[in-house]
Amino acid sequence: MSKTDIYIRDIDSAVKAKLETISRQKGISLNVLVKTILSDYAIMPDIRLMNDKYENLFKDMTALYNYSLEKNEEIISENTALLRTILELIKS
C-alpha cells in the first residue's frame, strides 16, 4: 500500500491542544495519534458491516437451534406416549 501525506489546515487550537494531551498520555506522537484516529474512522463502516453480518448469523443460528429443540421435544413427547402405550399393552 502506498503512503501519502495529508495536511489539515485551520484546526481549532483547543482541538489541537486536546489531541496533543491525548498523544502525550498515550506516549505516542501527535502524528501517530491522528493516523490511528483516521484509520479507525476509515475502517469503521467495514467493522459495522461485519458486526451486523455476525449478529444476523447469530440470530439465524439461534432461531434454527430453538426450532430444532422444539421439534426434538415434540418427538420425545411422542416417543414417551408410544412407550407408555407399549408398556400398557405388555402389562395387559
Is residue 2, in this structure, part of any structural domain at all?
no
At 4 the pLDDT is 86
In terms of residues, how long is the chain? 92
71, part of any domain: yes
Rounded to the nearest 10 degrees, how much is the dihedral formed by the CA atoms of 42, 43, 46, 47? -130
* 21 is a domain residue: yes
Question: d(Cα 18, Cα 33) in Å, to the nearest integer?
Answer: 11
Predicted confidence at residue 3, as pLDDT, reads: 82
Position 3 in a domain: no
Whether this prediction's pTM lies above 0.75 is answered by no
Do the domain assignments include residue 34? yes
Domain assignment present for 38? yes
Structural domain boundaries enclosing 83 = 13-91
pLDDT of residue 62: 98
pLDDT tens digits for range 41-86: 999 888 889 999 999 999 999 999 999 999 999 999 999 999 999 9
Q: Is residue 66 part of a domain?
A: yes
Q: Considering its fold, how many domains does the chain have in total?
A: 1
In a domain, 1, yes or no: no
Cβ atoms of 28 and 35 within 8 Å: the answer is: no
Half-sphere exposure of 78 (CA within 13 A, CB side): 6
